[in-house]
Amino acid sequence: MFSIIAEDKLTRARVGLLKTAHGTAETPFFMPVATKGAVKFVTSEMLKEMQVQALISNAFLLSLNPGVEIIEKVGGLQRFMGFDGVCFTDCGGFQLSRKTFNPEHKEDGLVFKDPFFGGKVHLTPEKIMEIQIRLGSDVAMGLDDMPNYKEPRQRYIDSLTRTHQWMEQCKKAHDQLKKKYNSTQLLFGITQGGTLADLRKESCEFMKKLDFDGFAIGGLGMGEPSEERLETVKVATDILPSGKPRYLMGIGSPLDLLESIAMGADIFDSAFPTANARHSTMFTSKGVLHLKNAEFKDDPNPLDENCSCFVCQNYSRAYLRFLSKTHDPVNYIYKSYHNLYFLSDLLQKARQAIKKGLFTEFLEAFRKVYARK
Amino acid sequence: MFSIIAEDKLTRARVGLLKTAHGTAETPFFMPVATKGAVKFVTSEMLKEMQVQALISNAFLLSLNPGVEIIEKVGGLQRFMGFDGVCFTDCGGFQLSRKTFNPEHKEDGLVFKDPFFGGKVHLTPEKIMEIQIRLGSDVAMGLDDMPNYKEPRQRYIDSLTRTHQWMEQCKKAHDQLKKKYNSTQLLFGITQGGTLADLRKESCEFMKKLDFDGFAIGGLGMGEPSEERLETVKVATDILPSGKPRYLMGIGSPLDLLESIAMGADIFDSAFPTANARHSTMFTSKGVLHLKNAEFKDDPNPLDENCSCFVCQNYSRAYLRFLSKTHDPVNYIYKSYHNLYFLSDLLQKARQAIKKGLFTEFLEAFRKVYARK
């Protein structure tokens, strides 16, 4: 299911192969988010073009709309979305922590407001496992309780207790459901504990005793400083088994990805690249480019002269800035495509650098031109 | 510039080659509208994929934003939009007839409200010719005055007088500007007269005396019944020189296109296919499909089983309906793509049918499955 094919000597970076029911993805990789069954403004043909290996959807939201039955009838999540690669599904811990869902903790799970049709939905670890198995994703995530950044310590302690209990229930239910549905779906556990080293450590120690197919470092990407986050990743990768993939959830800025890879993280997801793109904050090999700046209004150059994506091959900064200013819908397509392509390309180069034993040089060179965001 | 390579024996349909500075387009063809420099939700890569030969932009709007200088600096309209095919530009008569522009007729042209930056803009035939030459489009359109459907007869008479005067000025100015800018841009004249046969006839008789590179039948697609419009097209093609291309402006429903081709029209443009797509009204080989209908909610079939576009190859009606219901941005991409692909494919098949002497059969077969909209 996971095998490491190259390891960096100076950092914790490694290249691995994650084998799933719908193909093998080479780590480290970044997953665009298709929360509600599609990546905003990016077609699945485009994802293929930019060699995106995997994406992640929200199982809970999809179970409410369009519902598991419809996705089953069409032939499962990959077929439904027209995406050939590896599909992860999340329980929706991140989305559900938002106030619009009005979450209430119950003894056996959570009660939420249905954002599509109103009314209340009762979610348990067992239910969300069955939803994910039936959706047919390649990798399911356990149910976690995710605090926001800088909540009181007691909130993190409570989240740990709850998350650990739910993860045990998820593992047990998933083992049974795999037999029932004859599924080869993988299951990842999620560690919590915010950036509090002792709690994160406790969570990783607890989780590694459960035989998950991979482990996530959850609850980050919530506004904490990068240094604090990297320290937490280090705490986690000290403990989590090196032979299993490590998924750092919610991180998507180029430099953060490379530095997390150096700390031993393998898998990433975030809406950051596409959300930034929609706001005209573009990733380039020379650093971040703010396309709205007046200096680009008649600039005939591409977003990034070193980028081989179709946007950089065909369009000038002047054109893209003009389309952004007039809010033409295609501007969101072009900008989202470029930022996702940039990350896909960056991680491919990172994998090559690790394989060649040149990752530190690669990271250093990138740090010089790319300020952290 | 224009040569006819096949003519149907039973109808006025013909296949021609329109040679321009940026390549040759085979008529009859349909142009997606890139009014403000882009087709809504469709990239220029997609236009290439679906073998769109030509598109049309609005020279007047582009001259206001981003301005002619910026487009010149980037290398002209085709380079600016990243579109390899033939570019038409319109003066914007259609858009300018709308109340938001608050148009006032002056002796030497029109005064409009600038929709982007406020203030008033003074437009003359000479100015709009220079704008189009400088934008570098392949085919420029003369400046016309377009009444709405069912206005009083006097309004059509006035429009004819004004349009004819402006077209003479356009032709004269364009001849001079072509020398000044060393341009090979083509210029089409536009006939007016609504669906009033005597006025349309008068307009065509007048226009054909001016040596335009092609002739447009303007002022239609404004809500008139199809029969009335086809009758008008017939009046026009009776008079307009058969050796020049005939451009029926503002028409884009599949059956209307084929029936207009049978009446001798060669070139078309309309926002109809993409606007319909955004409202989930889909063109298929079995007729119009209203994707919002509940019957499609768990339908695993493609929009059109006979369509080879990537949308029909990859996505189910269930998925596309779901994305439409959740207003996911990609739903507009997929639906716009399919409708434009459908028209591109339909007109390619029409050209083949004309070449093979089977156009009447092709039209009859299509009429049987495709109700007029």
Catalytic residues of B: 90, 269
In a domain, B340, yes or no: no
pLDDT above 90: residue B92: no
User: Using 50, 70 and 90 to split pLDDT, how confident is the model at A121?
Assistant: confident
Task: Confirm or reject contact between B320 and chain A (CB < 8 A).
Answer: no
Does residue B74 form part of some domain? yes
* Chain B interface, best mutation among A70, A292, A313, A321, by max B CB count within 10 A: A70
Report how far residue B174's alpha carbon sits from residue B167's, in angstroms, rounded to the nearest whole number. Answer: 10
Q: Which residues of A touch B79 (CB under 8 A)?
A: 316
pLDDT recorded at residue A94: 67
Distance CA B331, CA B311 (A): 10
Please give the structure tokens belonging to residue A130.
């069955």
Say which residues have a Cβ less than 8 Å from residue B151's Cβ, sequence separation at least 6: B194
What are the tens digits of pLDDT across the range B51-85?
Answer: 999 999 999 999 999 999 999 999 999 999 999 99
Show Cβ contacts of residue B318 under 8 Å, excluding neighbours closer than 6 positions: A66, A70, A73, A74, A80, B296, B297, B298, B299, B300
Q: Is the pLDDT of residue B140 over 70?
A: yes
Kindly state whether residue B300 falls inside one of the protein's structural domains: no
Per-residue pLDDT tens over the stretch B257-307: 999 999 999 999 999 999 999 999 999 999 999 999 999 999 999 999 999
Residue B312 is predicted with a pLDDT of: 98
Average pLDDT, chain A: 95
**Which H or E run contains B222?**
none
How high does pLDDT run on average in chain B?
95
Using CB atoms, which residue from A39, A45, A316 is nearest to B74?
A316
> Looking at A245, A270, A295, which one is the last position of a domain?
A270
What was the pLDDT predicted at B372?
58
Q: What is the CATH number of the domain that holds A130?
A: 3.20.20.105
What end-to-end distance do the CA atoms of chain B give, in Å?
34
Q: What does the pLDDT read at residue B234?
A: 98
HSE-CB at A113 with a 13 A cutoff on CA atoms is 9
Position A26 scores a pLDDT of: 98
Average pLDDT over residues B165-177: 97
Give the whole-number percent of chain A exceeding pLDDT 70.
97
Which H or E element spans position B254? helix B254-262
Q: Is there a contact between B314 and A70 if contact means CB atoms under 8 Å apart?
A: no
A227 lies in the same domain as A284: no
Give contacts of B43 with chain A, Cβ < 8 Å: 310, 330, 333-334
CB contact under 8 A, A329 and B41: yes
- Asked if the structure places residue B333 within a domain, the reply is no
Q: Is residue B251 part of a domain?
A: yes
Which residues in chain A touch residue B73, judged by CB atoms under 8 angstroms apart? 298, 300, 318
Query: B304, B93, B275, B74: which is closest to B190 by C-alpha?
Result: B93
What three-state secondary structure class fits B314?
A: helix
- The tens digit of pLDDT for each residue in B197-229 reads 999 999 999 999 999 999 999 999 999 999 999
Cβ contact A319:B74 at 8 Å = yes
Percent of chain B residues topping a pLDDT of 90: 90
Q: For residue B261, is it within any domain?
A: yes
What whole-number distance in Å separates Cα of residue B89 and Cα of residue B21? 14
pLDDT (0 to 100) of residue B325: 95
Q: Which band of pLDDT confidence, cut at 50, 70 and 90, is reported for residue A101?
A: confident
Q: Is residue A137 part of a domain?
A: yes
Among the three residues A238, A270, A302, which one is the final residue of a domain in this structure?
Answer: A270
Region A297-313: mean pLDDT is: 97
Cβ <8 Å between B43 and A330? yes
Compute how many other C-beta atoms are within 10 angstroms of the C-beta atom of residue B275.
15
SS3 per residue for chain A? CEEEEEECCCCCCEEEEEEECCEEEEECEEECECCCCCECCECHHHHHHCCCCEEEEEHHHHHHHHHHHHHHHHCCHHHHHCCCCEEEEECCHHHHCCHHHCCEEECCEEEEECCCCCCEEEECHHHHHHHHHHHCCCEEECCCCCCCCCCCHHHHHHHHHHHHHHHHHHHHHHHHHHHHCCCCCEEEEEECCCCCHHHHHHHHHHHHCCCCCEEEECCCCCCCCHHHHHHHHHHHHHHCCCCCCEEEECCCCHHHHHHHHHCCCCEEECCHHHHHHHCCEECCCCCCEECCCHHHCCCCCCCCCCCCCHHHHHCCHHHHHHHHHCCCHHHHHHHHHHHHHHHHHHHHHHHHHHHCCCHHHHHHHHHHHCCCC
Residues A244 and A290 in one domain: no
Rounded CA-CA distance A142/A229 in Å is 22
A29 and A65 together in one domain = yes
> To the nearest whole angstrom, how far is the Cα of A312 from the nearest Cα of chain B?
10
Asked if residue A227 and residue A326 are part of one domain, the reply reads no
The SS3 of residue B132 is helix
CB A328 within 8 A of CB B40: yes
The 3-class SS string of B318-337 reads: HHHHHHHHCCCHHHHHHHHH
Please tell me the predicted confidence (pLDDT) of residue B94: 67
> pLDDT at residue A99 above 80?
no
Q: How far is B87 from chain A, CA to nearest CA, in Å?
A: 16
Q: Given pLDDT bands bounded at 50, 70 and 90, which one contains residue A116?
A: confident
ipTM of the complex: 0.94
Quote the crossing angle between the two packed helices B329-355 and B359-369, to the nearest 10°: 140
User: Is B330 in the A-facing interface, judged by CB distances under 8 Å?
Assistant: yes
Mean pLDDT (whole number) for A291-305: 97
| Tally of structural domains, chain B | 1
> How confident is the model over A199-248, as pLDDT tens digits?
999 999 999 999 999 999 999 999 999 999 999 999 999 999 999 999 99
Tell whether A373 is covered by a domain: no
Domain of residue A69, residue span: 2-270
d(CA A342, CA A336): 10
Please report which confidence band the pLDDT of residue A161 belongs to, taking 50, 70 and 90 as the band edges. Answer: very high
pLDDT digits (tens, 9 = 90+) for A43-87: 999 999 999 999 999 999 999 999 999 999 999 999 999 999 999
pLDDT for position B150:
93
Task: Output the pLDDT for position B115.
Answer: 79
Q: What is the pLDDT of residue A372?
A: 58
Q: Are residues A222 and A308 in the same domain?
A: no
Q: Does A367 touch chain B (CB under 8 A)?
A: no
Number of H helices, E strands in chain B: 15, 16
Catalytic residue among A144, A145, A213, A269: A269
| A194 & A248 share domain | yes
Q: Does B312 touch chain A (CB under 8 A)?
A: no
Mutation target for A interface from B309, B319, B327, B338: give the one with most A CBs within 10 A.
B319
Same domain, A316 and A350: yes
Q: Which residues in chain B are contacts of A38 at CB distance < 8 A?
A: 323, 328, 330-331
* Span A6-15, pLDDT tens digits: 999 999 999 9
Residues A21 and A130 occupy one common structural domain: yes
In the DSSP assignment, the letter for residue B294 is G
